[in-house]
A and B are shown apart, each in its own frame.
Chain A
């Protein structure tokens, strides 16, 4: 979630041809995978007679057979038409008998990107998958799996790729709606993505929902300075907040500002107590913003509800390099960083903040072989960000990504084209249909 860069830095010299990977690169026009020559051989006449809910009628005319009503008395139990035998039941036809409500349940678990593809299955599915009540049902499923969003600006054109972790596929998303000034990816939360940039001399921010292609520029801040932003979405409240903290030049007199979507205004909060240098490392969890200070190395916390800064006296590990703050689920806060500069025994470790004892507790270490594969040089830069107890490490030079699942204690690699651009910005993203930019 590195949103800092020199303001005059233009897009990278990497041309789009470098971004082509080995696999097929589909345009919107021609997508060879989807065209099925099999259809030439005549469509399959598959609908068994008497099967209700035939799929080639328009939705208004279709009849629907429901399975046994749930939870009602035995007398009203509707039995299946067939007796279920323990043998393989004509496997060929088995899914043809899928009841309507079960189909809805299955489609509700389909990750959003696959929903677009499934719309071309048949007209009935096309209408189901665009139906508002279905989309609402779909949004109620807690999670379809996180995605990684990479963003980079190739001189003028913004390029965005999204890697869906459950589907294991990269998708290209058009971001043509982005205004020219949007340059830095602030981050993503609850289905919304936030960008910031300089429009002339004004520092602005906007939020968008890439799935529905809606977007909105936020009103200007009270103090016009290029700053660190972080966006958080409250899904229960259907609102979001953007917090603007210190600016990159270390202007200590700059107060913290918070944008609340419910009132559509920036409010000025407390000035952060004087510290020598702030880093860009921030994490938000449990209505508190944690910010790492560099000199001295420490932790500052900002309580959003009460609106004041507090110093957390947790001792940071000695000789820590590049400490990244990552917010986990609920109240968990992680610190990720390397220990041991110039040492051959350099290792990447993950700590968790124990809120009660106010200390960092080491919970995991990156296995040495992955560490060596990720960072060949000991002083090499890497990015680290996380969401929902998933921590991702990306190495710019090598275009690799390493994922760590805190709960399952599992390390896994992600490789793909989009990570190869050295100035692409990456963050976790959760595609949602129901996130509104307002």
Chain B
């Protein structure tokens, strides 16, 4: 083999080697491109079809399981509307590479996510219920945080009004519950972000 090897040095690459190389390149690229182009087709309640990259779509555990059952067909989501689903997918695309880091569990929402949740109440409600039904835990977590921030400044009565909850405590019971260990010392706006 030493003889053939020295030959290639003079005459360029060995043709057999070249063929092998090109074949492996072709195989490789097909694998790579097929991975890239794996999309899931998802149909929402209003019969709109979304084509979403599989990695993004399977951030939803529900979709992941349904995809396994459908195996290539269209996944129907009968209780998600297209406008909400579009937003959810937008969020998923931003967070597809987050992995298991869960850094957003700590503290406030990141800036990009904070603006995502600056929506009106109806949309927030549907985002939450959709995140719940599609089982996208990080989105659900952030949505819940947003809701908690929303009710943070409210009094108990305002919370009741928002959630349409009837106050079923009697006056005495309510005093009892209020006379709890903690009393809230509401200070001035004592946290200024610069």
B98 to chain A, nearest CB (A): 15
A235 to chain B, nearest CB (A): 14
Closest to A370 in B: B194
Q: Is the CB of B168 within 8 A of A56?
A: yes
The A29-45 residues at the B interface (CB cut-off 8 A) are 29, 31, 33-36, 38-39, 43-45
Q: Is the CB of B121 within 8 A of A122?
A: no
Instruction: Return chain A residues, CB-CB under 8 Å to B134.
Output: 70
Give which listed residue, A28, A101, A143, A172, contacts B105 with CB less than 8 A: A143
Q: Complex formed: what's the CA distance from A88 to B119 in Å?
A: 11
What 7 A-B pairs are tightest by C-beta distance, nearest first?
Answer: A96-B164, A36-B157, A46-B164, A56-B168, A84-B81, A168-B191, A26-B183
Closest to A20 in B: B185
Q: Is the CB of B148 within 8 A of A44?
A: no
Q: Complex formed: what's the CA distance from A388 to B160 in Å?
A: 35
Q: Does B1 contact A (CB under 8 A)?
A: no
Q: A44-B164, A88-B120 are in contact. Are A120 and B177 (CB under 8 A)?
A: yes
Using a CB–CB cutoff of 8 Å, the interface residues on chain B facing chain A are 45, 61-62, 64-66, 69, 76, 78-81, 83-84, 102-103, 105-108, 120-122, 125-126, 128-129, 132-135, 140-141, 144-145, 147-148, 152, 155-157, 159-169, 174, 177-194
Closest to A97 in B: B125
Q: Is the CB of B128 within 8 A of A102?
A: yes
Q: Is the CB of B79 within 8 A of A116?
A: no
A63 to chain B, nearest CB (A): 16
13 A-B pairs, CB-CB below 8 angstroms? Answer: A22-B188, A27-B183, A56-B166, A71-B64, A84-B126, A96-B163, A106-B148, A108-B144, A121-B160, A122-B160, A142-B105, A143-B106, A161-B185
A293 to chain B, nearest CB (A): 32
Give which listed residue, A86, A122, A171, contacts B83 with CB less than 8 A: A86
Of B102, B174, B178, B188, chain A has the most CB atoms within 10 Å of the CB of: B178
Give which listed residue, B79, B165, B178, contacts A55 with CB less than 8 A: B165
Q: Does A413 contact B (CB under 8 A)?
A: yes
Q: Is the CB of B106 within 8 A of A142?
A: yes
Q: Does A378 contact B (CB under 8 A)?
A: no
Instruction: Return chain B residues, CB-CB under 8 Å to A108.
Output: 144
Q: Does A114 contact B (CB under 8 A)?
A: yes
Against B, the Cβ 8 Å flags (1 = close, 0 = not) of A94-119 are: 11111101100110111101101111
A273 to chain B, nearest CB (A): 37
A interface majority secondary structure: loop
Q: Does A80 contact B (CB under 8 A)?
A: yes
Q: Complex formed: what's the CA distance from A329 to B24 in Å?
A: 45
Q: Is the CB of B132 within 8 A of A102?
A: yes
B91 to chain A, nearest CB (A): 17
B95 to chain A, nearest CB (A): 17
Q: Is the CB of B166 within 8 A of A31?
A: no
Q: Complex formed: what's the CA distance from A68 to B133 in Å?
A: 6
Give which listed residue, B133, B155, B174, B186, contacts A24 with CB less than 8 A: B186
Q: Is the CB of A74 within 8 A of B183?
A: no
Stretch at the interface among A192-200, A316-324, A344-352, A414-422: A414-422
Give which listed residue, B84, B177, B185, contacts A84 with CB less than 8 A: B84
Q: Complex formed: what's the CA distance from A413 to B193 in Å?
A: 7
Q: Is the CB of B152 within 8 A of A114?
A: yes
A411 to chain B, nearest CB (A): 6
Q: Is the CB of B187 within 8 A of A94?
A: no
Q: Does A412 contact B (CB under 8 A)?
A: yes
Q: Complex formed: what's the CA distance from A29 to B183 in Å?
A: 9
Instruction: Return chain B residues, CB-CB under 8 Å to A166.
Output: 107-108, 152
Q: Is the CB of A77 within 8 A of B78?
A: yes
Instruction: Return chain B residues, CB-CB under 8 Å to A161.
Output: 185
Q: Complex formed: what's the CA distance from A93 to B122 in Å?
A: 9
Instruction: Return chain A residues, CB-CB under 8 Å to B156.
Output: 34, 36, 117-118, 120-121
Give which listed residue, B103, B133, B144, B194, contacts A67 with CB less than 8 A: B133
Q: Is the CB of B185 within 8 A of A142?
A: no
Instruction: Return chain A residues, CB-CB under 8 Å to B128.
Output: 102, 106
A64 to chain B, nearest CB (A): 14
Give which listed residue, A43, A99, A165, A173, contacts B191 with CB less than 8 A: A165
Instruction: Return chain A residues, CB-CB under 8 Å to B102.
Output: 142
Instruction: Return chain A residues, CB-CB under 8 Å to B178.
Output: 31, 34-35, 120
Q: Is the CB of B167 within 8 A of A122?
A: yes
Instruction: Return chain B residues, CB-CB under 8 Å to A397.
Output: none
A132 to chain B, nearest CB (A): 18
Against B, the Cβ 8 Å flags (1 = close, 0 = not) of A166-178 are: 1111111110000
Q: Complex formed: what's the CA distance from A143 to B141 in Å?
A: 11
Closest to A51 in B: B164
Q: Complex formed: what's the CA distance from A39 to B78 in Å?
A: 41
